Chains A and B, each alone.
Chain A
Amino acid sequence: MKPELKKNVRAWLYLLPAVAFLAVFMVYPLIDVVIYSMEEGYNFASQTYRGTGLYNFRFVLRDPYFLQALKNTFIIVIITVPISTGLALLIAVVLSSIKKLRELYQTVFFLPYVTNTLAVGLVFMILFKKTPYSDGMINLLIKLFGGSAVDFIDGPYAAKMFIMCFYTIWVVMPFKILILTSALASVNEIYYKAARVDGTSPFRVFYRITLPMISPIIFYLIITGFIGAFKAYSDEVALFGTNLNAAGMNTIVGYVYDMLYGDSGGYPSYAAAAALILFAIVFTITAINLMVSKSKVYYK
């Protein structure tokens, strides 16, 4: 055997466990999903189907529940990703510029990350939910300032969406702050000194030096933020309970789940089709992100 070939064989041998694992738990299910999505009228119990084609996709795309979920997901993505990233950047910058009690603030901002989502959800309920006994803390405040109480959990769509986005931002921000604080700390002090000698204004320092230098990290946060937000589900459950369709707050992943196991469940084909649509959306958005970043992100 040629040494080159031998080396290759050995490399593949080392990769085998990982490849086998990925094949069984990732590649096979992926292919299976594609197959499911093409089988019309698949029946779980009898394991039979009528025929193949794009019927499932057509059904899903006409299903008002799916369209509602699609709309909800997009709103959550478009609102929470930019706001949470921007806000995290702002907080990280402020955190890095203060000296006193910095560690304390960092811990405070990081707390939500180590707190259970459902526990946070409960706290939000207490803050926002209207019950026969109380209107919730926030409503008390609103009333104090002369507004009228709103039911954030069972009330109008806009109120529910507001609280949903608020909650999502609250949950995803600590991680972003943590990453951005360390990114800011990794920018060499010397550039700031050079900029100071040259009389650069603080805004320009931020815009022309800091931002480009941490742009790979920001970009990473945006991409993972998009992907994470498109996969939103558990946060919705934490706020609105498991019957998301009834609340009108379902998401795509929620729809997939419902189609499989929910009250109206038992339709793996519809679930598969919805999952593939989600995949196509995430894929497209990530591709666009990558293309935009080529011209905007500076890599060392």
Chain B
Amino acid sequence: MKIRLEHLTKRFPNRNKKIKTEVVAVNDFDIEIPDGKLIGLLGPSGCGKSTALNLICGLEAPSEGRIYFGDEDVTDIPPEKRGVGLVFQNYALYPHLTVRENIIFPLQNLKGDKKLTKDEMNRKAEEAARLVQIENLMDRRPGEMSGGQQQRVAIARALVKMPNVLLLDEPLSNLDARLRLQTREELSRIQKETGITTIFVTHDQEEAMSISDMIVVMKDGVINQTGEPQKVYDDPVNLFVAKFLGTPPINVFEGEVRDNKLYVGENDILDIKGADDKKVYVGIRPEGFVLNPAGRLKCKFVRVEVMGRDTSVIATNEAFLGESIRAIIPTEEKKEPADGVVCFDVKPFKVLIFDRETEERIYFEA
């Protein structure tokens, strides 16, 4: 089911009653989510992700704007009639019910001609359980299961009614690194198998990038950018999005455009065209550095770091904003410079420049 949000806005009165200003948790959302895709809603803590999800499922009413499922305006329809499945941040499984009872629970609520017989309910519950591979845990209580298993039960409970839209609020946040990797693959598989339009919230950019068909990056209630994960990564619209995506994060320098050259400190690192002379922020992705003894960007060498398959040079520079520059290099080139100075060339398409004031992206030709 296609979802369209039109100028969706949610304001909360401030929790501190003495402050009259309102909190704008979701600010003028205006996007269309294509049918049958997996969408990652991404942003830092407190930026309004959960609120956006609650608006879509109907637990919160918007202050302004409309929500459409397909062509139907569902803004004023209560959650149970929207046909959404919701997986909560902490699963919200009923602790006193077994896995089977938890999964069947939504089915037992059906009334009228949608009412199911006991056998049908059991069959559907087992189908959902099979999908998330928990058939052998049906008689356990949530307290007797691992976080990953609970999460799957929560997904099964959300799926059992075959919702039009599946919403997941940070479903993987409680899992350890390995389980998180495994579960997110599973999530992707389940989504593909069922073809249900799925929106999942996360503040982990890697998670979002790895399985989403499309990501929505938001900050302080405002959508900054939407698009395919790789496109957004390669082509961020502003400094925030550039900084938010990528591990290790992008290296940001103070720089300047002067006479068709891009300067970082005293070094002119790149010849560019089509950008006005002004002070800028220069962002260079860690994989955008090339070691070259005659390179144009000179930095002070700190150390070489090997982490798993990545080898990186750690360096510092006067113009760098932050602790230390991290440049990923091919492992075979790892050697320490004798004079303590390391020089790089940069790959032009891994270099992004941003306006100092607005932090908006400035486009240029290399």
Residue positions of A touching B, CB distance < 8 A: 188, 190-191, 193-194, 196-201, 204, 208-209, 212-213, 298, 300
Contacts and interface: CB of A to CB of B under 8 A. Distances in A.
Nearest to A199: B80
B79 interface: yes
B97 to A, nearest CB: 8
B84 A197 contact: yes
Interface stretch (B85-93, B256-264, B316-324, B325-333): B85-93
Contacts of A197: 57-59, 79-80, 84-86
B59 A196 contact: yes
Contacts of B106: 198-199
B92 A193 contact: yes
Interface residues of B, number: 25
13 contacts: A188-B92, A191-B94, A194-B92, A197-B57, A197-B58, A197-B59, A197-B79, A197-B80, A198-B106, A199-B79, A199-B109, A208-B94, A298-B96
B233 to A, nearest CB: 33
B86 A300 contact: no
A199 B161 CA distance: 11
A297 to B, nearest CB: 9
Nearest to A194: B92
Interface in B120-177: 143, 157, 161
Given A190-B90, A193-B88, A198 B105 contact: yes
A298 B94 CA distance: 11
Contacts of B85: 197
A190 B92 contact: yes
B109 A201 contact: yes
Contacts of A300: 95, 143
A198 B80 CA distance: 6
B84 to A, nearest CB: 7
B309 interface: no
A201 B97 CA distance: 18
A204 B104 CA distance: 14
Contacts of B88: 190, 193-194
A193 B59 contact: yes
Nearest to A211: B96
B15 interface: no
A188 B86 CA distance: 17
B20 interface: no
B201 to A, nearest CB: 15
Contacts of B17: none
Contacts of B84: 197
B96 A196 contact: no
B81 interface: yes
B166 to A, nearest CB: 11
Nearest to A212: B96
A209 B92 contact: no
A193 B79 CA distance: 10
Contacts of B110: 199
Contacts of B78: 196
Interface in B52-85: 57-59, 78-81, 84-85
B6 to A, nearest CB: 22
B176 to A, nearest CB: 22
